[in-house]
Structure 1
Amino acid sequence: MNTTLTPYYEKKLQCLLCKTNFISTKIRSSFVKVDFYDKDFCPNYFSDEVNPLFYSVFVCPHCGFSFTEYFSKYFPPGTREDIINKVSNRWVSQDYGKIRKIKHAIASYKLAAYCGEIKREKNVTIAGLYIRIAWLYRKINNKVQEQRFLRFAMNEYLNSYLNSDFHGSQMSELKIIYLIAELSYQIGEEKQAVLYLSKVIEKQNTTTERTIVEMALERWHEIKAT
């Protein structure tokens, strides 16, 4: 009997929409080793094969509803029916629950973003999906699509900051402000980048998130030097 532990395990889930039980693959945290992070917090792993980013989205094979652990279980009035009409009724049954290649990961995130938009999930939740799509396109050097989804993510983070919907999430206000600045810089919106970098730097004496302040200062000096 082979008892060798693999990086993968099966997670039992229940679809938030149709309540059907299904299985989705996840990666054991003990196998996850980060080499370094990009300036927008994109993790770069030692192994391209063992990438937990590929498995954050759960795709119901029965109805097509796609979600993450950050999705609310609550469906605002009318959204359940809207998802059934726009997603489930057009769904061709397929299984995203096995080991994924990057193309499957990108497709799963796009499905989750579409479902999240219809469901009216928080801006901060949608932003998290868009930035991860951008990261995955970065891995395959698709600059056009990376830029497209970085812009989508920036707009969602900006809306999240303006309406304060990040409260109660894993994202702090400082991290949201920094990401607005960094993503603005990456898509060529330098004026907005400087504005939001300054908001981060203004908080340097009142925050415990020193790393984010240092990253903002580094980017600030880089912009000013050009």
Structure 2
Amino acid sequence: MSKFWEKEFTCPFCGTKFKKKMVFFDSIKIKARDIDLKPVFEDVNPMFYEVVTCPNCYFSAFDKDFETITIKGEETERKLKKLLEEAKKKVELKNVENHVEAIKRYALSGMVYSVLNQRKKVAISYLKIAWLFRELGKSEEEKRYLERALKEFESHYKYDYYEESDEPMILFYLGVLNQILGNRKEAARWYELLLRKYDGKSLYAKVGRERWQELRRS
């Protein structure tokens, strides 16, 4: 049985129609998770397919919201146009699925979400880049993007509106990214806030309690 299918997308920025390879959900098998809940996949790596990039203008976003994005205002449109034109000059995309190409696409989605002031998705884009570098064994690059993801999560938590249902995830990543980066006091502070507000109510709080205990023992 095939693990892949093709989906047609229409770019919300330039209107180009194109098809992209997608992964059937049933083909995704997780055999373990890292400290920050990064999945270790058994076979197909869905991170290679999650970002949709328009082949014409390079507009990039996660597949779940690619076509639903609304670009509001002439200033935002102008910034995006400039950003994507520069990206096309500097970045060569190949029609293959591997770590290098996925990193390029997540970098593009991070830049697009930044212009759209969607900091949570900027943070997730950077986190996924860090995970891809981890799979490649490139620790310095991984650390750099973990730091970028942490900065975006911090800004998102402090300055943006977010759904209450998102808060446990945000607090968890504020804790675990600080823990990975060696910021023990900051990690403990965020874990304690997560547990105070959501202990027993969220999977993130359950995992956060385990990480907090590991932090205290280490």
Give the structure-2-normalised TM-score: 0.89
Question: For residues 21 and 15 of structure 2, what CA distance do their matches in structure 1 show?
Answer: 18
1:157 pairs with 145, 153, 157, which one?
153
Runs of at least 4 residues of structure 1 off by over 4 A? 92-96
1:214 and 1:86, CA in 2 relative to 1: closer, same or farther beyond 3 A? Answer: closer
> Which residue of 181, 188, 195 corresponds with 1:194?
188
Q: CA deviation at 1:90?
A: 5.6
Q: What's the CA shift string for 1:121-151, capped at 9, x where partnerless?
A: 3111111111111110110011111111111
2 CA distance for matches of 1:165 and 1:10?
35
Say if 2:214 is the partner of 1:225: no
The percent of aligned pairs where both chains have the same amino acid is 24
> Pairwise mapping of residues 62-77 of structure 1 onto structure 2 (< 5 A)?
62-68=56-62, 69-70=64-65, 73-77=69-73
Alignment check: 8 A CA contact 2:13 2:59 kept: yes
Structure 1 residue 74, shift from structure 2 partner: 2.0
Cα pair distance change 1:153/1:9, threshold 3 Å: same
Deviations along 1:159-218, one digit per CA (max 9) or x if unpaired, are 2222343328xx62112101100001111221110100111121355x421x32332222
**2:49 pairs with 1:55:** yes
User: CA separation in 2, counterparts of 1:166 and 1:198?
Assistant: 20
- 1:85 maps to 2:68: no
Aligned partners of 1:37 and 1:203: how far apart in 2?
24
Q: TM-score, normalised by structure 1?
A: 0.86
Contact 1:124 1:165 (C-alpha < 8 Å) held by counterparts: no
Q: CA RMSD in A?
A: 2.1
What are structure 2's unaligned runs of at least 5 residues? none
The 1:17–1:130 alpha-carbon spacing in structure 2 relative to 1, beyond 3 Å, is same
Higher helix share: 2
Number of aligned positions between the proteins: 214
Work out which of the residue numbers 166, 173, 176 in structure 2 matches 1:172.
166
- Note the C-alpha offset of 1:82: 1.6
Counterpart residue number, 1:108: 105
In the alignment, is the contact (CA less than 8 A) between 1:39 and 1:215 conserved in 2?
Answer: no
Q: Shift of the alpha carbon at 1:158?
A: 1.5
Question: Aligned partner of 2:201: which letter?
Answer: T
- Cα 1:214–1:89 shift into 2, 3 Å: closer
